[in-house]
Amino acid sequence: MMTTQQLMALALEMAELTEVPGDSAIYHPGQNIRKIMMGIDIKAAEVKLASDMGFDVAISHHPTGGQARLDFYKVLYRHLDQLTRAGVALKEVQQMIDDLADDSRITAAMSNFDHEPSVARLLDMPYMNIHTPLDEIGRRRLQMAADELSATDTVADLISHFLASFGEFRNAATEIEVRVGSAENAIGRVVMSHGAGTNGGYPVAKAYFDHGIDTVIYIHCRPADSKRLVLEYGDSKNLIVTGHIVSDSIGINPYVDRLREEGMGVTTLSGIIPA
């Protein structure tokens, strides 16, 4: 048996993180946990379903409220870590990320951030979400797979390698898309931009492209952002979009597997695609 704190600690351990990120939280704690409901979006209705069906905890991937919504903006600063590791000077992107974070902070404060947590408290149903730790697991897995190719391999080669490496992609109803560039282009230097709250849209991709990165991989990207990048870079750079739910699953499934190894019963729903 485990507690909600132990469930969170296990995710942090697997992601090699030392503290709970701003976008992850225990909304209503619990202990003596054996039977877990877990999905990408677990909200009030699913919390009630978990209570009715005798689950010991309901775990959402995406943050649904509470401090995880109010502090979500803090994890956007992980883009700075990823950008500077790729060779972008901090002074060139600090203001950009400050602006993204400020928008997120203000929008979250406008929301009904206690709705889902209040339902869990009323039902006395243990409830939590784990976002960045699982996204970081997924980011590392995808970056490691990309790093197995050479700079002269093509975008098509990279997509084929992802499909061969991850059953989630083969099982998904969505497809990996090339939004900027061409399948025939060489991949050059590749960055998997993920595990920083959400994608950085046009400005983050532009910062990578302008500082020697040839291929940026997002799990999702607004059409307006990718169209703007096409207008600016044509076919000279590559933006690959792997798909939101399937890519989330690539980070979630190792955690689910580990929980089952620890003797937990885990029922998945709400989008988690099996490997």
Q: Are residues 25 and 92 in the same domain?
A: yes
Instruction: Tell me the average pLDDT across 92-119.
Output: 96
Structural domains of the chain, count: 2
> In this predicted structure, what is the pLDDT of residue 212?
96
Average pLDDT for 185-201:
97
Mean pLDDT score, 149-160: 98
CA-CA distance, 216 to 223, in Å (whole number)? 15
Range of the domain at 177: 136-247
Contact 163, 169 (CB under 8 A): yes
Mean pLDDT, all residues of the chain: 97
- Structure confidence at residue 175 (pLDDT): 98
Label residue 3 by pLDDT band (50, 70, 90): very high
Q: Are 20 and 101 in a shared domain?
A: yes
Interval 126-142: pLDDT, tens: 999 999 999 999 999 99
* Shared-domain flag, residues 185 and 262: no
| 273 within some domain | no
Look up residue 210 and give its two tokens: 């302008």
b/e 239-268 (16+ beta carbons within 10 angstroms → b)? bbbbbbbbbbbbbbbbbbebbeeeebebeb
Residue 33 pLDDT class (50, 70, 90 cuts): very high
pLDDT value for 271 = 97
Structure-token pair, residue 178: 């090339």
Residues 193 and 256 both lie in one domain? no
Please give the model's pTM, rounded to 2 decimal places: 0.96
Please, which pLDDT band fits residue 269 given cuts at 50, 70 and 90? very high
Q: For residue 274, is it within any domain?
A: no
pLDDT value, residue 167: 98
Q: Are residues 255 and 240 in the same domain?
A: no
Which pLDDT tens digit goes with each residue over 68-89? 999 999 999 999 999 999 999 9
Q: What is the mean pLDDT of residues 262-266?
A: 97
Nearest to 166 by CA among 200, 137, 199, 193: 137
Do 18 and 109 fall into the same domain? yes
Shared domain check, 66 and 13: yes
Same domain for 114 and 202?
Answer: no
Which strands make up the sheet holding 215-218, listed edge to edge? 177-180, 238-241, 215-218, 190-192
Using pLDDT thresholds of 50, 70 and 90, give the confidence band for residue 188. Answer: very high
